[in-house]
Structure 1
Amino acid sequence: MSGAARIQLTDDGRLRHLLTTEGLGRALTTEILDTAESFVPVTRNDVKKVPLLRGRTVVNLFFEASTRTRSAFELAAHRLSADVLNIEGRSSSTTKGETLLDTLKTLESMHVDMFVIRHGESGAAEFFARHAAPGVAILNGGDGRHAHPTQGLLDVFTIRRHKPDVAGLSVAIVGDVLHSRVARSDIHALQALGTQDIRVVGPKTLVPPELDALGVSVHHDLRSGLADADVVMLLRLQRERMSGHYLPAGSAFHRGFGLNEHTLGYAKPDALLMHPGPINRGVEIAAPVAYGKQSVILEQVSHGVAIRMAVMAMIIGAHQS
């Protein structure tokens, strides 16, 4: 188990931080999903607020650009009645030479209860968690290639709502696995729920060899990778993290590993189609299937708010006086 997996739990196995889906285990993962389920009605009410985090302060500290993740965390905190401060890396004092540790300690002195961290370096969220003051929680909003735990949780939450027997499913994760923190978080979350048939599918240059140690099967052919799959999870090609030798042109990638109406037919007729966004249409997915009848992509976005509400409430709402 990684260091991040160890330090995110209290001695009695509760969430202190959320840094990775690794090591959460079936019981805690299920508790998060069940708690999120209880918040789904709140997100649909006329008044979309509950008082669980009233008087608490959450800081979204994003050193990487984000629309879905940051918006979902902000909405989640507001719907729990927390005060929210949004800080982008390019507008913070790190551009003046302030270290990450200085930034953390400066904001802690303003009596912040929780930080949501998004950073381009793997391990950044763990660094914050190791240096955070007692009682200050760190949520990982994505760090380098390492982890994106709330995305992994919202993905399995979405799957469970459609196909409750998650353990018995065949799940294919397709595309740029090498650079994907989402893929790693999905794999750990699925395994926590007992899923045995997890496949990663992509060109050899985009599938890291160390995935063998995670107990997944590797496919370099789309037909075999999707054969009778219950769930097809597409990944965004992360061009910003790769150099030219990793990847052919987008059209060539689509011919080999892109999803369209024909290649989706390799999977089961009722297979769920997923994507963490943003979508590169015509590269990893064709426009007609992106929001077709098998797509649950917009549901993933919606469920992201409930998952983040659940995690925040479980960590700092439980200690509310």
Structure 2
Amino acid sequence: MAVMKVKFNQKKRVKLAQGLWLMNWFSLFAGIVVFSMGLFLKIELRKRSEVMDNSESHFVPNSLILVGLLASVFNGLAGKICYDSLDPAKFAKWKPILKVYLVLCVLFNLFILFVVLICFLLRGSLDSTLEHGLKNGMKFYRDTDTPGRCFMKKTIDMLQIEFKCCGNNGFRDWFEIQWISNRYLDFGSKEVKDRIKSNVDGRYLVDGVPFSCCNPSSPRPCIQYQVSNNSAHYSYDFQTEELNLWNRGCREALLKYYSNMMSSMGIIVLFVWLFEMSVMIGLRLLHTSLESIANPEDPECESEGWVLEKSLKDTFKSTLENLKNIGKMNQVDAGTEGAEGDGAKTQAVSTVS
């Protein structure tokens, strides 16, 4: 039994073709929107590529760009097919490739659904990328005189100011690395020598943070050095001075920013997928309704259209059988070639003898 079997007359076929033509142009516009979203996300990720550990994060924007391009191509072509379907002479040239085109549409819609899923499920990978990238970026914060790293200080400072965050997981991360360049340390000072000697790796560690960690909403001047020393500052309690520094880590801030962006894009792409599925089903109904016209010389006669000629179960079985037959044909061809090769070898031996 056919799936979604619908009866059509000439008027219904024309309305379906016109409706699909209009839907394809809307889908073409949606493809441009998806392409623009992918481009925007790629630019946003490029802005902060220095604090990302690898290029896996660009898989989502690259996929969105590809979906946008393919959607524009597929829907532009489908719009042309729907427009030509009103003229039997023009539609005849599309008949040989229409089945192949519909198969490609199915694969394309599966790809769109896959992109929707990764937009929602890539949070874990992005979290790991940001954690390692920010950790490495903070290590290079002091290398203002090193070629290739001299920009890292500005990058981290602008990041912390823009996203109102501090460190990787929090401001205490700065206590564990030397973020002050040796160029600005007085190695003749006893304090500097003692701090370096007290550290196994010979680093100058302080309980301080860069200026970009300071919260401008704090009612007092920012305390960025000796942050955990209550006696070093008047009327100061390290545990209760929450407004002094940003408490949120930059990994959490960036993860929330990019996750919200990708989730919003995933919802939009999901709507595009639903629209594309509607267009594909409509195109299949139009194709089968035109193919099933009993008398081509009488275009006004009724016809039937369907999405699947057999039931879903029968269609699945026939598809598996076709795949098995293709596999058997390949095995037969390989066996034939082997037999021909053995025959040629036997003939060669006979000739030598």
Alignment TM-score, normalising by the size of structure 2: 0.22
More strand by percentage: 1
More helix by percentage: 2
Higher RCO, 1 or 2 (CA under 8 Å, sep at least 6)? 2
Larger radius of gyration: 2
Alignment TM-score, normalising by the size of structure 1: 0.23
